[in-house]
Structure formats: structure tokens, C-alpha cells
């Protein structure tokens, strides 16, 4: 456990400083929310209709920004070889990397999501659900995104390859999260959508590290 904590602290420090840390993701998220009224018009009714879906789409795209360097930096400088030879299995390394990525980028984006949705016209009563759903969805984004980051190791234009691999996997949490919020806004049952979102994220946490470890071993071999 002590070794894992040391590894996790290392990954958290790298995640906080990698590619601008959470600031770049937050800036992209804010820019997307700001530009939306210019695209669909400034009418409050029209903005309120697309506020939830647009906030979730921006959240998914912002989560992509820091995935490229999740494994690539360690792969390029040889640190991944040392981690593979260390006492911790690669599955634990992948878990630590994705958890640190979620805390450094996913959690700040979850705090920003209700603010962006309210600014676009969503009801303030939806803010707690938007935050919880964004927090759970960000966890799924980090662990499914880690699979794409590991599969792109050694390839050219890794960022484009990650987007091609990961964006289809991001569709279910976007649908479940936005659907839960829309259901609550319409007075319908929102718990089903939230539970499906949590189930997706938990499945990504449970299965993602094994897929990432297998992809890293393939890249190192």
C-alpha cells in the first residue's frame, strides 16, 4: 500500500503539471460554453433547451485534452519500462495514473459543469445532480480515455488516434448523464440514468486498468 501511495503521489504531481494541468481543460470548457450562445443564438429559451447536452459535450471534449501525455511521456523517456519492472503491476500503475488524472482534471471540470449549465440557462435546482453526474462521468472519461492513451503508444499523431478510439466510448456517459439531468428537469425519473452512468464508470474502473496494462506491455515488447 505504501508503494502504491508513492506511485499515486507521483502520478498526481505529473497530472497536475502535465500540459497545463486542469487549467487548460477548464479554459477549453469555458471557451466552449462562451461560444455556444454565438452559435445557437442568445434567446434564453433556446439556450436552456441545449444547456445540459452542450455542457456534457464540452465536458467530454475537455477530458480529451490531457490524455495524450498520460502514458506517452513515460513511454518516451523510459520511465514506463522501469515501472513495468517495478514491484507494482502495470494494472496498478494504470489505475494510479487514471485516478490522478480524474482528480487533477475531472474533479475541477465537475465543479465547473453546473456553473456552465446555469450560465447557459439551466435551472439552479439541477446544479447538485449536474455536479454528481459530472463527477461520475469524469471518472468514466478518465479510465476509458486511458485505454485509448495506452493503445496509441508508439503511434504517430497519438492525439488524433486517441480521439478516434475514445470518442465512441464517451457516448454512453454523455447520453446517461445528460438524460438524467433532462429527466429531472422534466419531472421524470432521473435515478435510472444516474445509476446507468455510475455503472458505466465503475465498469471502466474495474476493467480499464487490465486493458491499459495489456496495451502497455504490447507497446514495450
Domain hosting residue 87, numbered range: 2-220
Detail the DSSP E strand segments found in the chain. Answer: none
Q: What's the pLDDT score for residue 26?
A: 82
Q: How long is the chain?
A: 221
CA distances from 157 to 124, 154, 163, 164 (A): 41, 9, 10, 11
State how far the Cα of 86 lies from the Cα of 4, in Å rounded to an integer: 11
- What domain count does the chain have? 1
* Mean predicted confidence (pLDDT) in 119-136: 87
State how far the Cα of 32 lies from the Cα of 16, in Å rounded to an integer: 22
Place 19 in a pLDDT band, splitting at 50, 70 and 90.
low
CA distances from 50 to 33, 121, 135, 155 (A): 11, 9, 20, 37
Could you read off the pLDDT of 198-210 as tens digits, one per residue?
Answer: 999 999 999 999 9
Neighbours of 165 (CB within 10 A): 18
State how far the Cα of 96 lies from the Cα of 142, in Å rounded to an integer: 11
Query: Strand, helix or coil at 36?
Result: helix
Closest CA relative to residue 113, chosen from 178, 21, 176, 209: 178
Place 132 in a pLDDT band, splitting at 50, 70 and 90.
very high
State how far the Cα of 181 lies from the Cα of 78, in Å rounded to an integer: 44
Closest CA relative to residue 58, chosen from 22, 23, 21, 29: 29
Neighbours of 38 (CB within 10 A): 8
Closest CA relative to residue 112, chosen from 61, 55, 182: 55
Q: Is the pLDDT of residue 20 over 80?
A: no
Amino acid at each position: 500500500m505504501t508503494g502504491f501511495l508513492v506511485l499515486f503521489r507521483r502520478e498526481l504531481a505529473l497530472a497536475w503539471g502535465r500540459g497545463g494541468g486542469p487549467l487548460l481543460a477548464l479554459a477549453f470548457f469555458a471557451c466552449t460554453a462562451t461560444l455556444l450562445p454565438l452559435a445557437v443564438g442568445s434567446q434564453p429559451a433556446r439556450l436552456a433547451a441545449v444547456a445540459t447536452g452542450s455542457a456534457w459535450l464540452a465536458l467530454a471534449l475537455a477530458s480529451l485534452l490531457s490524455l495524450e501525455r498520460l502514458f506517452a511521456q513515460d513511454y518516451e523517456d523510459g520511465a514506463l519500462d522501469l515501472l513495468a519492472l517495478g514491484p507494482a503491476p502495470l494494472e496498478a500503475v494504470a489505475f494510479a495514473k487514471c485516478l490522478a488524472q480524474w482528480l487533477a482534471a475531472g474533479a475541477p471540470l465537475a465543479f465547473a459543469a453546473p456553473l456552465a449549465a446555469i450560465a447557459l440557462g439551466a435551472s439552479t435546482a439541477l446544479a447538485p445532480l449536474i455536479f454528481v453526474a459530472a463527477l461520475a462521468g469524469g471518472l468514466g472519461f478518465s479510465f476509458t480515455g486511458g485505454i485509448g492513451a495506452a493503445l496509441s503508444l508508439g503511434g504517430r499523431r497519438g492525439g488524433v488516434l486517441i480521439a478516434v478510439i475514445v470518442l465512441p466510448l464517451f457516448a454512453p456517459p454523455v447520453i446517461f448523464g445528460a438524460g438524467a439531468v433532462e429527466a429531472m428537469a422534466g419531472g421524470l425519473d432521473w435515478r435510472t440514468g444516474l445509476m446507468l452512468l455510475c455503472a458505466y464508470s465503475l465498469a471502466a474502473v474495474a476493467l480499464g486498468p487490465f486493458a491499459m496494462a495489456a496495451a502497455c506491455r504490447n507497446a514495450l515488447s
